[in-house]
Amino acid sequence: MPAGAGVEEGRQKAQACVACHGPDGNSQAPAFPSIAGQPRQFIEMSLIMFREGRRINEVMKPIVDKMSNADVRDLAQYFAGQTMAPPARKPDAEVAARGREITEKNNCVQCHGPRLTGQQHIPRLAGQHKEYLLAQLKGFKAAKRADFDGTMTSAAQALSADQLDLVADYLSTLSPP
Q: Tell whether the model's pLDDT for residue 8 goes beyond 90.
A: no
Domains and CATH numbers, the chain: 7-80 (1.10.760.10), 93-172 (1.10.760.10)
The mean pLDDT value for 127-148 works out to: 94
* Distances, alpha carbon 27 to alpha carbons 47, 52, 99, 147, 155, in Å: 17, 24, 23, 23, 26
The mean pLDDT value for 142-166 works out to: 94
pLDDT reported for residue 1:
45
Q: Tell whether the model's pLDDT for residue 148 goes beyond 90.
A: no
Question: What's the pLDDT tens digit per position in 100-117?
Answer: 999 999 999 999 999 999
Q: How far apart are the first and last CA of the chain?
A: 25
Question: What's the pLDDT tens digit per position in 65-100?
Answer: 999 999 999 999 999 999 999 998 888 999 999 999
Residues paired with residue 119 on neighbouring β-strands, in sequence order: 122
Question: What's the pLDDT tens digit per position in 12-29?
Answer: 999 999 999 999 999 999
pLDDT reported for residue 154:
94
Q: Tell whether the model's pLDDT for residue 147 goes beyond 90.
A: no
pLDDT reported for residue 5:
54
Q: Is residue 24 a contact partner of residue 36, using CB atoms and an 8 Å limit?
A: yes
pTM of the model as a whole:
0.92
Q: Tell whether the model's pLDDT for residue 144 goes beyond 60.
A: yes
Q: What is the dihedral of CA 126, 131, 135, 141, to 10 degrees?
A: 60
pLDDT reported for residue 176:
74
Q: Tell whether the model's pLDDT for residue 2 goes beyond 50.
A: no
